[in-house]
């Protein structure tokens, strides 16, 4: 009878900053930034992630040697323990491995490889997933059924298995002696193909929701081509979840690359990623040369932890329902 709806809280009317001048101010004003500042853990995670990206970017400036260049490695410098131990030698901060490779430099360059594969893998899987999701959602029917059925089947298999298989197949087609750069491409390809499903499902879902809204009908009416409507109008609505998936998948992609390299199906010893370094170092663990495996392991673990923390926070911040 008089069961009136409780009035919605009226948003305080913030004066809209002029376009161009105020986007930064607006970003700093936003809820997302607010929750970012409230969580110390997230700020630390962001700082650590940024630090790792900077280290990777500036590797040539910070490293004492180029670990990929055999000419710079000297066997007489092999198996030196870290600087602060009794047998430590300058300039090898974190010691050296059996080939005389400086562990710190190797980590910096390995980080480059790991992050490159991770970022490219995420970009590739994201693009693939978004396009397939848009097509599935917009076209519907048999195309949708086919894409989603493939997604279902693929989802039952862990990404690492798929990546390993793709890797194996490519190797068998091109022979076992791929050079390092091609291996990197194969890894990006394998990781990209193993992670597209989540994007596709999310995008498809939001296309299904948006497709029937009036503004899409209006855009169709004025004759905008379907791809334009999809990219300009529908896709921006799915950007939040996509960003969350991408962040969490970056961590997964880095783990997957490291795992493949650890299993010997990834980056070769001549151009090692963090996973390759751990595999090499693992052989010296029993001999007591712990630093060869410990520091790359630590770097990998803290990188992934930081990205995961960011991803967790982003998911909560963009999804107010969970708070």
Partner 1 sequence: MLAFTLRRAIQAIGVMIAVGIISFSMFRFAGDPVNQIVSLDTPAAEREAVRKSLGLDDPVVLQFARYFGNAAQFKFGVSYQFRQPVSSLLMERMPATLELAACATVFAMVFGILMGVYSALKRDTFLAKVFQAVSLIGISLPTFLIGILLIYLFAVVLGWLPSFGRGEVVRLGWWTTGLLTISGLKALIMPSVTLGLFQMTLIMRLVRAEMLEVLRTDYIRFARARGLTTRAIHFGHALRNTLVPVITVAGLQFGSVIAFAIITETVFQWPGMGLLFVQAVQNVDIPIMAAYLLMVSLIFVTINLVVDILYTVVDPRLRSTLRRPT
Partner 2 sequence: MIEPVLSVRNLRVEFVTRRDILRAIDGVSFDIAKGEVLGVVGESGAGKSVTGLAVIGLIDRPGRIAGGEIYLSGMRIDNLPPEELRRIRGKRIGMIFQDPLTSLNPLYRIGDQLVETIRTHLNLSETAARKRAIDLLAEVGIPAPEKRIDAYPHEFSGGMRQRVVIALAICAEPELIIADEPTTALDVSVQAQIISLIKRLGRDHGTAVMLVTHDMGVIAETSDRVAVMYSGRIAEIGPVLDVVQNPLHPYAKGLMGAIPTLASDTDRLVQIPGSMPRLSAIPPGCPFNPRCAFAFDRCRVERPEPIRHGSQSVACHLYDTAATETAA
83 preceded by a cis bond (ω within 30 of 0) = no
Helices within the chain (DSSP H only): 23-29, 31-38, 40-57, 59-62, 103-139, 141-156, 159-174, 180-194, 196-211, 214-221, 226-229, 235-262, 274-282, 291-318
Write down the least CB distance from residue 15 to partner 1, Å: 39
Please give the Cα distance from 201 to 71 (Å, whole number): 49
Q: Does residue 317 touch partner 1 according to CB under 8 A? A: no
Binding-site member from 233, 259, 268, 315 for partner 1 (CB under 8 A): 259
Pick what 28 binds: partner 2, partner 1, none; C-beta below 5 to 8 Å, kind-dependent.
none
Question: Does 320 contact partner 2 by CB under 8 A?
Answer: no
Query: Exposure pattern of 55-75 as b/e (b: 16+ CB <10 Å)?
Result: bbeebeeebebbbbeeeebee
CB of 9 to partner 2, least distance (A): 7
Number of Cβ within a 10 Å radius of residue 205: 15
- Per CB under 8 A, the list member of 13, 21, 176, 212 interacting with partner 1 is 176
The count of chain residues that interact with partner 2, using the rule CB under 8 A, is 8
* Partner whose footprint covers residue 222, from partner 2, partner 1, none (CB < 5 to 8 Å by kind): none
Question: Using the rule CB under 8 A, is 7 a contact of partner 2?
Answer: yes
Q: Is 301 in the site for partner 1 (CB under 8 A)?
A: yes
Cα–Cα dist 83/73, whole Å: 18
Q: Does 196 bind partner 1 (CB under 8 A)?
A: no
Q: Which is nearer to partner 2, 3 or 214 (CB)?
A: 3
Structure tokens at 57: 């970017």
Tokens 């070769």, located at residue: 268
Q: Is 177 one of the binding residues for partner 2 (CB under 8 A)?
A: no
Q: Please report, as residue ranges, which positions from 235 to 274 form the binding site for partner 2 (by CB under 8 A).
A: none
Q: How far apart are CA 65 and CA 63, in angstroms?
A: 5
- Summarize as ranges the residues that interact with partner 1 (CB under 8 A): 153, 156-158, 160-161, 164-165, 167-169, 171-173, 176, 251, 255, 258-259, 262-265, 275, 278, 282, 285-286, 288, 290, 293, 297, 300-301, 304-305, 308-309, 312
């Amino acid at each position: 009878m008089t069961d009136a709806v409780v009035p919605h809280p009226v948003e305080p009317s913030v004066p809209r900053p002029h376009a161009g001048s105020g986007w930064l101010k607006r970003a700093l004003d936003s809820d997302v930034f607010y929750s970012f500042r409230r969580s110390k853990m997230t700020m630390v995670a962001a700082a650590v992630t940024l630090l790792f990206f900077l280290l990777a970017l500036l590797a040539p400036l910070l490293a004492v040697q180029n670990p990929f260049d055999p000419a710079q490695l000297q066997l007489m410098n092999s198996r030196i323990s870290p600087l602060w131990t009794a047998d430590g030698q300058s300039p090898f901060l974190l010691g050296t491995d059996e080939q005389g490779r400086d562990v710190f430099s190797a980590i910096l360059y390995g980080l480059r490889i790991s992050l490159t594969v991770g970022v490219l893998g995420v970009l590739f899987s994201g693009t693939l997933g978004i396009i397939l999701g848009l097509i599935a959602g917009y076209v519907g029917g048999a195309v949708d059924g086919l894409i989603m059925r493939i997604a279902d089947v693929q989802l039952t298999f862990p990404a690492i298995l798929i990546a390993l298989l793709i890797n194996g197949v490519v190797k068998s087609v091109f022979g076992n002696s791929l050079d390092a750069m091609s291996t990197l491409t194969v890894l990006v390809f394998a990781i990209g193909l193993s992670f597209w499903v989540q994007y596709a499902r999310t995008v498809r879902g939001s296309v299904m929701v948006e497709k029937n809204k009036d503004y899409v009908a209006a855009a169709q009416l004025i004759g905008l081509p379907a791809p334009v409507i999809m990219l300009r109008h529908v896709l921006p609505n799915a950007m939040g979840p996509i960003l969350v998936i991408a962040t969490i998948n970056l961590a997964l992609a880095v783990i997957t690359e490291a795992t493949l390299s650890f299993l010997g199906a990834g980056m070769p010893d001549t151009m090692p990623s963090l996973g390759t370094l751990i595999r090499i170092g693992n052989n010296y663990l029993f001999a007591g040369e712990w630093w060869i495996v410990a520091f790359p392991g630590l770097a990998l673990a803290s990188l992934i932890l930081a990205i995961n923390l960011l991803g967790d926070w982003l998911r909560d911040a963009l999804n107010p329902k969970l708070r």
